[in-house]
Amino acid sequence: MGAPVFRTTVHGLAFEDRARHLHTVNPREELVLIPDPPGGQPDDVWVHIRTGDPVGHLPREIGAWLAPWMRRGGSARVQVIKVGPESVPSWKRLLVEVRCG
């Protein structure tokens, strides 16, 4: 497993109009992490808003170890740290903190 607490950006916001959800997301808000089912490549961990809509995924380097760990029963919580304006590149717009426990 990687670090028990870390900060990272959320990737994939630019696809499928996922960035439209960012106007509803606020700092300190808890989001939901959902790992891909086993057997898929790449092994992503998706970030969803509380209503269930995906906003993107954690970087692939993190998903490679976090998704299998979560599928084995590990739990992780994610909280918004910062939401950048539309002028910020999509892969840098949403900063989150992940706590593995």
Task: Calculate the alpha carbon distances from 15 to 3, 38, 67, 72, 73 in Å.
Answer: 28, 23, 21, 29, 29
| Residue 22: φ, ψ to 5° | -65, -25
pLDDT at 26: 94
* Contact between 36 and 45 (Cβ < 8 Å): yes
pLDDT at 84: 93
- What is the architecture of the domain spanning 17-100? 2-Layer Sandwich (3.30)
- SS3 (DSSP) at 13: coil
* Mean pLDDT per 10-residue interval, the chain, length 101 residues: 88 87 93 89 91 94 94 96 92 95 88
pTM: 0.90
